[in-house]
Amino acid sequence: MHRFAAALAARADATSALVSQENGMPIGLSTAFNGAAPAGLLQMYAELIKVLPLEEVRPSQPGSTIVRREPVGVVGAIAPWNYPQVLAMMKIAPALAAGCMIVLKPSPETALDSYVMGDAAQEAGLLPGVLNIVLGGREAGASLVSHPNVDKIAFTGSTASGRIIGAECGRLIRRVTLELGGKSAAIFLDDGDVDTFIAGLGMASFMNNSQTCTTQSRILVARSRYDEVVDAVAQYTRDQVIGNPLDPSVTIGPMASEQHLQRVLGYIGIARNSNARLVSGGGRPAGQDRGRPARTAAGSSSPPCSPTSTTPTGSPARKWSGRSRR
């Protein structure tokens, strides 16, 4: 595992740039999550093996109980496109530490960087069959989930897909771990400090172009502070630098796919046709007709009304943030 980590670390710069080209992640963030984090996770779990007992005796009412840690078997790991390297390794590293075999199915949108992981595994000397990478879409994922030789599924992705996977694993009495998308809301109270709020907005709502499962894509604001907060958020979005994700000065890169761009623009259209008010952005930036750029959007409504207020736009929701007041 340490050799695997070293092989990934040696490729960190190239891998970070590759992922940014795949999904539009700003290069600074990609360097941390796709370059450094996977190797760090491998090292952490490799060290954990040294201190975690494989067997221990615990006291129980009848006398004592032996707790034995054994490999589950074959782990099917399904990773998304927003943080492909680190979210894949969050499944691979603990499985390797436990002595399991892994079948990784990356997202089709970020399939190229999985080859980097495969090359690093080979260089590190992982035995054939320990880490297997299968490329494909939903059909490949469904086959992996229901395959009779798979003992556990680890999935990160949309809530809709997670429901299907959870139901199938329940039918098969198969272990499953689900990390799903959400539609998180931030709450700004009467005594909130706008400067502090804006200072944290990048991490809370716009990290990785808002393509993060923890994105706070709604902000519920106390009526007495409503206009002030809407103006501050609108100005924050106008100040963002949209462009090539490999440029360190860029804060918002392109959308991960044309399909996702059209999906989010569709949500913005739905909101504009309701009683929401678009106060910033919401379309392609001027002079950027090629590729998948979108102007960072902020809107407001009172009361919350748009489908974007309650429906997860997937893992993740990208540019539209429905700003609502209570």
- 263-286: average pLDDT: 83
State the pLDDT confidence band at 320, using cuts at 50, 70 and 90: very low
Question: With 80 as the cut, is the pLDDT of residue 117 above it?
Answer: yes
Q: What is the per-residue pLDDT across 226-259, written as a single tens digit (0 to 9) for each?
A: 999 999 999 999 999 999 999 999 999 998 888 8
Active site residues: 179, 213
Q: What is the 3-state secondary structure (H, E, C) of the chain?
A: CHHHHHHHHHCHHHHHHHHHHHHCCCHHHHHHHHHHHHHHHHHHHHHHHHHCCCEEEEEECCEEEEEECCCCCEEEEECCCCCHHHHHHHHHHHHHHCCCEEEEECCHHHCHHHHHHHHHHHHHCCCCCCEEECCCCHHHHHHHHHCCCCCEEEEEECHHHHHHHHHHHHHHCCEEEEEECCCEEEEECCCCCHHHHHHHHHHHHCHHHHCCCCCEEEEEECHHHHHHHHHHHHHHHHCCCECCCCCCCCCECCCCCHHHHHHHHHHHHHHHCCCCEEEECCCCCCCCCCCCCCCCCEEEECCCCCHHHCCCCCCCCCCCCEEEEC
The structure's pTM equals 0.86
Q: Is the pLDDT of residue 286 over 90?
A: no
